[in-house]
């Protein structure tokens, strides 16, 4: 009897899985498979064939059925001996199975284990992978002809954004001028531009989150520019650069004599932004005391200058930004939850350059044209290739700095990759993981990728819960707040839908994926009932939804704890 197999090996180009065949009449056939490949190697088979293979007890060691909460490496590595480990993988999706196999191979390589592993997959899953795999002759196929590649986390996210981009962009057009100002051709940057136009259509607070140098202030300025308040002032303030005791005076103003050196009345920046936009940059650096003051002004739309007994109405649109993970700060008690969700009426995450490296050549050429003298040649392909190798913790701002230095250090020179390397050396450029073994890096990135996905799930589910809880507290007679609450719920629901479209590939186990999926299903029902009868939402919350949120949060928190404890 011939058994079809799919071969996974780190020795194959780009880890391309290929089709194979296994004759199970004799145990010697299994032994001979060890000599066909550079070990470690995984043979994936239909789980229905495992019973016959397990019968060769002299050459195999049966590891039973994998627990959904554990990885393949927990069962198959560190066994010792020459026998071939055999296990029923027990995966419910193609993506999770492939991820598990590659993680196993990385860990086996890191431990120096030279083994053949046989893993069974459900018939439906095995057939899918078999159909997508190459033929046995493709083991030496050129890298560019690889049949299947494992996408990165960011590639998965970008792919899932396609349908959402179409929906969001149906009635919105991104101006060419915005594309010139906010560079980037990938879907992540296009999505950010669409969010800018969408946020400009209303006056709700906006929270922008992203890494240093990823263009948060550019996004804020463009939201203002394309809004109805474009004719008003755009007033930025760096919350982290102003001493705690002075911030209140800077924001709210003061009266003459309010404190030492207050020799005259001063208008605060909040009032100065009247009919325009107040941009609170690095809001995560605020003390809890100042967070309370901003929350009160944001909620009541009144400020009181220092030394004054009178309140003053304000009408500035608030946009806040941070390079810190504010949701994590909320959980640790460093940032007020009520302020976080007040600001998060509209949420935009600026893409990082390291996760969109295909945009680097275009960005670099455009920036170089602005930086270098008019008659300078474009950057050479070898320089562009070298730029793509770096991690860019400072994002586009760092890219600009490097290109300026390249122009300043080597004016009127024929530039090559060696010149760029000198710039990185002189500038003490971005740290690389070149000293760490590839296998160790892969293991670290795999865990970080999964942990980041779980934390994002926790944040989005919590945001949905907060929005529902806030909505049911509104009096049914307050039509304006009812409409605002419905809009907020739809935004949160849309965010949840987009996140769930990534699929289960980056969840550590089935339980966490199911927990988020359950919330998505219940939110779908809730959204359909909003127009009919808001009272249904309150009843649904009490009967079912509140407990579902608590359960989902508990499952996600346990998943995060487990990943952290394994670090």
pLDDT tens digit sequence for 40-67: 899 999 888 887 787 777 788 888 888 8
Q: Is residue 20 classed as helix, strand or coil in its secondary structure?
A: strand
| Most confident of the ranges 104-108, 410-414, 422-426 | 104-108
Q: How far, in Å, are 96, 273, 469, 511, 547 from residue 515 at the CA level?
A: 17, 43, 19, 6, 12
- Calculate mean pLDDT across residues 371-396: 89
- Calculate mean pLDDT across residues 284-297: 93
pLDDT tens digit sequence for 232-266: 999 999 998 888 778 888 999 988 887 877 788 88
Give the Cα-Cα-Cα angle 76, 82, 86 (nearest 5 degrees).
Answer: 40
The pLDDT of residue 442 is 54
- pLDDT of 371 > 60? The answer is yes
- pLDDT of 498 > 60? The answer is yes
The answer to whether the beta carbons of residues 2 and 53 sit under 8 Å apart is no
- Calculate mean pLDDT across residues 215-225: 96
- Calculate mean pLDDT across residues 553-562: 84
The pLDDT of residue 277 is 96
- Calculate mean pLDDT across residues 186-209: 91
- Calculate mean pLDDT across residues 204-224: 94
Q: How far, in Å, are 163, 222, 264, 351, 473 from residue 201 at the CA level?
A: 21, 12, 39, 22, 26
Q: What is the CATH number of domain 202-351?
A: 3.40.50.300
- pLDDT of 538 > 70? The answer is yes
The answer to whether the beta carbons of residues 347 and 196 sit under 8 Å apart is no
The pLDDT of residue 69 is 75
Distance, CA of 23 to CA of 36 (rounded, Å): 14
The closest alpha carbon to 213, from 434, 334, 344, 367, belongs to: 367
pLDDT top residue among 52 and 26 = 52
Cα radius of gyration (the chain): 28
- pLDDT of 408 > 50? The answer is yes
In percent, the amount of the chain with pLDDT more than 70 equals 85
The pLDDT of residue 557 is 83
The pLDDT of residue 25 is 52
Phi-psi label, residue 213: left if phi above 0, alpha if psi -120 to 50, beta otherwise: left
Domain 438-565 in CATH 1.20.120.660: yes
Confidence of residue 524 (pLDDT cuts 50, 70, 90): confident
Confidence of residue 16 (pLDDT cuts 50, 70, 90): low
The answer to whether the beta carbons of residues 75 and 63 sit under 8 Å apart is yes
The pLDDT of residue 433 is 36
- pLDDT of 159 > 70? The answer is no
The pLDDT of residue 308 is 87
The pLDDT of residue 136 is 54
368-372, 508-512, 560-564: range with lowest mean pLDDT: 560-564
pLDDT top residue among 481 and 350 = 350
Q: Is residue 122 classed as helix, strand or coil in its secondary structure?
A: coil
pLDDT tens digit sequence for 90-112: 888 888 888 889 889 888 888 88
11-25, 194-208, 350-364, 448-462: range with lowest mean pLDDT: 11-25
Domain layout of the chain by residue ranges: 2-150, 202-351, 359-417, 438-565
Distance, CA of 496 to CA of 503 (rounded, Å): 12
- pLDDT of 167 > 50? The answer is yes
Q: What is the DSSP string of 289-335?
A: HHHHHHHHHHHH-EE--BT-SS-EE--PEEEEEESS-HHHHHHHTSS
Sign of the CA dihedral with 161 first, then 484, 199, and 317 last: negative
Distance, CA of 203 to CA of 212 (rounded, Å): 26
The DSSP bridge partners found for residue 19 are: 6
The answer to whether the beta carbons of residues 340 and 334 sit under 8 Å apart is no
Average pLDDT, the chain: 82
pLDDT top residue among 403 and 484 = 403
Q: What is the DSSP string of 172-231?
A: ----HHHHHHS---SHHHHHHHHHHHHHHTS-S-EEEE--TTS-HHHHHHHHHHTSTTTT
Give the Cα-Cα-Cα angle 218, 223, 225 (nearest 5 degrees).
Answer: 90
The pLDDT of residue 149 is 38
Distance, CA of 130 to CA of 19 (rounded, Å): 7
**How many CA atoms within 13 Å lie on the side-chain side of 53?**
32
- pLDDT of 514 > 80? The answer is yes
Q: Which residues, 6 or more positions from 326, have their beta carbon under 8 angstroms from its beta carbon?
A: 207, 209, 283, 284, 335, 340
Distance, CA of 61 to CA of 49 (rounded, Å): 15
Indicate the DSSP class of residue 352. P
Distance, CA of 169 to CA of 157 (rounded, Å): 18
């Amino acid at each position: 009897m011939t058994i079809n197999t799919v071969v996974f090996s780190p020795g194959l180009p780009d880890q391309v899985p290929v089709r194979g065949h296994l004759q199970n009449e004799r145990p010697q056939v299994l032994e001979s498979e060890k000599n066909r490949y550079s070990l470690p190697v995984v043979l994936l088979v239909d789980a229905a064939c495992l019973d016959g293979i397990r019968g060769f007890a002299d050459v195999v060691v049966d590891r039973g059925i994998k627990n959904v909460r554990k990885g393949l490496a927990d069962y198959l590595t560190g066994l010792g001996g020459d026998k071939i480990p055999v296990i029923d993988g027990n995966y419910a999706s193609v993506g999770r199975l492939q991820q598990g196999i590659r993680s196993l191979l990385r860990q086996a390589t890191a431990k120096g284990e030279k083994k053949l592993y046989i893993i069974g997959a459900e018939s439906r899953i095995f057939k899918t992978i078999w159909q997508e795999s190459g033929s046995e002759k493709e083991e030496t196929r050129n890298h560019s002809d690889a049949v299947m590649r494992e996408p990165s986390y960011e590639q998965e996210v970008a792919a899932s954004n396609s349908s959402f981009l179409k929906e969001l962009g149906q009635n919105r057009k991104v101006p060419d001028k915005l594309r010139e100002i906010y560079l980037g051709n990938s879907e992540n940057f296009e999505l950010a531009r669409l969010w800018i136009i969408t946020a400009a259509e209303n006056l709700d607070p906006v929270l922008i989150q992203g890494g240093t140098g990823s263009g948060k202030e550019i996004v804020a300025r463009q939201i203002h520019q394309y809004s109805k308040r474009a004719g008003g002032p755009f007033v930025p303030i760096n919350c982290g650069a102003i001493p705690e005791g002075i911030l209140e005076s800077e924001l709210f103003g003061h009266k003459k004599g309010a404190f030492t050196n207050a020799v005259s009345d001063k208008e605060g920046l909040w009032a100065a932004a009247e009919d325009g936009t107040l941009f609170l940059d690095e809001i995560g650096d605020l003390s809890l005391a100042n967070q309370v003051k901003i929350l009160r002004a944001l909620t009541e739309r009144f400020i009181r200058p220092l030394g004054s007994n009178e309140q003053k109405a304000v009408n500035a649109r608030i946009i806040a930004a941070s390079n810190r993970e504010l949701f994590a700060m909320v959980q640790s008690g460093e940032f007020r939850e009520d302020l976080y969700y007040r600001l998060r009426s509209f949420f935009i995450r600026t893409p990082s350059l390291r996760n969109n490296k295909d945009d680097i050549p275009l960005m670099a050429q455009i920036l170089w044209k602005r930086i270098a003298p008019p008659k300078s040649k474009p950057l050479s392909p070898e320089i562009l290739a070298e730029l793509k190798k770096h991690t860019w913790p400072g994002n586009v701002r760092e890219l600009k700095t490097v290109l300026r230095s390249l122009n300043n250090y080597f004016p009127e020179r024929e530039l090559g990759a060696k010149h760029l390397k000198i710039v990185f050396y002189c500038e003490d450029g971005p740290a690389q993981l070149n000293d760490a073994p590839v296998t160790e890096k892969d293991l670290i990135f795999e865990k970080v990728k999964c942990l980041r996905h779980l934390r994002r799930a926790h944040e989005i589910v919590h945001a949905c819960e907060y929005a529902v809880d806030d909505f049911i507290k509104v009096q049914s007679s307050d039509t304006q707040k009812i409409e605002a609450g419905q809009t907020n719920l739809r935004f949160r629901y849309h965010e949840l839908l987009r996140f769930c479209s990534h699929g289960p590939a980056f969840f550590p186990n089935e339980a966490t994926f199911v927990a988020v999926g359950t919330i998505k299903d219940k939110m779908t029902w809730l959204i359909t009932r909003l127009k009919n009868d808001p009272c249904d939402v309150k009843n649904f919350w009490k009967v079912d939804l509140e407990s579902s949120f608590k359960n989902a949060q508990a499952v996600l928190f346990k998943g995060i704890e487990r990943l952290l404890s394994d670090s």
